[in-house]
Chain A
């Protein structure tokens, strides 16, 4: 059985080569070194994201502006330690820098803005442009976005910054079932409107999308993230069929936000050079997400659940399922707020994540028995936030993972400690 605790490498994220990135870093840090630090100031947050919706996450980040330059920069880093074992066997102590991300934003015009997000994973071993888009604002309900966009499926994909979460690992359902962070080249529209305590918004994009790798991979299961290995999706579609991603969301400042999203299209290369290679095969993903803060206890809840349907050829193996489902919920309870260790606006939270993924929903043709291939996890946590933008977190991860046959599950648990901060 494949264990979820292994480090999954993503060779697909080499869209920007190391040399280009090196030049980029040189420019950024050289520029910083030449200016008086007193000129550096925090860029005011976009006033349109007061009571921000999840769709605003990409701009709802702290930026640093240099003087009066129309460019602001920011980023975040994550570093962690873990000691995890499976059924009495451990690989020992492990330290990682899973990612460092740099944002660059620019207001080209009062109604035109640009933002890019470049991520260095595993200490720079993998580099990716996760977001690089131009936004044209014609009306609050009619904005055009084009470039490398993050498909708005669920909530986590667009709202994945490490410092925002109390947990070292990203949700399994978001990264091992849904393919967060899932970015593609494309265009789309979005808009939002506010009325009193209410806000609603929509997003709709047409982008390049998945490929055959989702049922042709080394994971031995239908695995949407396998398509991230296709670097060419930033240059051309694998099949000439656009991937549609759409989302609507409704927010009330007293109750929270709920979002419904869809992503779907033809995923396989059914033709090439005018030759028919296979039937057209569809992929459809539906997701619901929510977040809320309970007014009586100040408890923060956030989660998402998704259902996936994939047209897998009947003549292929049921090892690769045609339905998947999974999700997570985070429960975060502040227990101390105020001056802690001279951090004047610090918070201490206790939290718990519950997560579940079934990679293969269905029954065996041979026996009628249930196909399993699932995992669940409970992750109690303590997090200390010296400021809202920085978190120190300690997790205890408990998981059980079953193979496709439903044999006794692998039991996995261990400690994770991490730090993450915007800068």
Chain B
């Protein structure tokens, strides 16, 4: 594929102008064209066709959006083989649609990865994921009631799942999937360095990792440190997935009802089935997620954004939404020793009673949530149909509303935000929208 610069091609623009001009100018052009054909014959005709078809190409196609306006695209520095695998993963993630013919369901939530993560961004309430069946930490979800995830849709001829009456549930709005490779590249030690389970520094913020029992197919890498046979979860609203492979095959299985050699149990029957997605496709999608670029900030030089960035630290948002990390060496050289700005600590925090949905995963309490990365926040409406659906379940319709929903360990920051002047609030939100 070629990305064309469309700004400096006079001839192409002239062609477009001719089509869009008033009748006299168009007629004059046509008259000239036909005169050329009549007088000079084939030679001039050939020149005109050349002019139309080739010379003006760069102005013919629509211009590319600015790179920082898009979430999709690979990290810089992939070699050609890696770019090939990225492309294969891109196709599987964004273009492959599952139907009853190739493995969808029979119970499901969405028909493709891209349905939940349009443009690799946050999802919409249309594809909200509902989790249920585990009300206490360090227990297994009750599979007998259909957990851990509700499949609220079904192919024709089947009835979708329903949550048993009175059972608690929590809704997840699908997150953006950009920059995940950077988060996956961090060592457990880097994550633990920000943990403060006993709040020894007295700032009211603890931060604990979610230790997860690994699935049978999990292969620890150098970045992982076991703790009594469990590993730190990094991905998901409750940090319930240790690595991108677990996140990917769980989504295939629980979101689309698609089995794999990694997750061979059909969510409807509870029995194993033939794999409905190949190992290679799974590997390609994992690589795609690993090598999606990190969101690029916008308007960084705007005075309001600069002021908002300072306020972000002043009112201690940055205690949990840690701005900066640097990756260690990585098997993908493009991810090695890179400084990036996710605004997360990947740890669980008590977010207060208002955000306690009574359901949990792994070792997390029902009121604990992983600090979500804030990068790409300003681009959320571009993947959520022009609106904001923020917090874990999309209940916040604006950034300010999301801030005001913070409680528990974040209560102090919320209160400090409330005490800001309107101009300062606007600056802080301008900063968050620039991410």
Contacts and interface: CB of A to CB of B under 8 A. Distances in A.
A394 interface: yes
A220 B124 contact: no
Interface stretch (B150-158, B186-194, B219-227, B260-268): B150-158
A85 B60 contact: yes
B324 interface: no
Contact of A415 (B60, B108, B385): B60
B97 A407 contact: no
B27 A414 contact: no
Interface in A284-342: 313, 315-319, 335-336, 340-341
Interface stretch (A102-110, A254-262, A363-371): A363-371
Interface stretch (B30-38, B297-305, B343-351, B412-420): B30-38
Given A88-B65, A90-B1, A341-B38, A316 B155 contact: yes
Given A88-B62, A316-B153, A405 B384 contact: yes
Interface in A380-398: 380, 382, 394, 396
Nearest to B2: A90
A396 B19 contact: yes
Nearest to A277: B157
A81 B96 CA distance: 28
Interface residues of B, number: 61
B62 A413 contact: yes
A87 B72 CA distance: 13
A44 interface: no
B3 interface: yes
A212 B385 contact: no
A212 B61 contact: no
Interface centre among B19, B110, B384 (most CB of A within 10 A): B19
B37 A341 contact: yes
Interface in B31-67: 34, 37-38, 41, 49, 52-53, 56-57, 60-65
B115 to A, nearest CB: 6
Interface string B160-189: 100000000000000000000000000000
A85 B155 contact: no
Interface string A391-423: 000101000000111111001111101000000
20 contacts: A87-B64, A212-B100, A216-B101, A216-B156, A219-B97, A277-B157, A316-B154, A316-B156, A335-B27, A341-B41, A380-B20, A405-B126, A406-B385, A407-B118, A407-B119, A413-B61, A414-B60, A415-B56, A415-B60, A417-B49
Given A85-B61, A277-B157, A364-B126, 15 more contacts: A81-B53, A84-B61, A85-B62, A88-B4, A90-B4, A90-B61, A91-B1, A315-B160, A318-B126, A341-B37, A366-B126, A407-B119, A407-B385, A408-B382, A417-B49
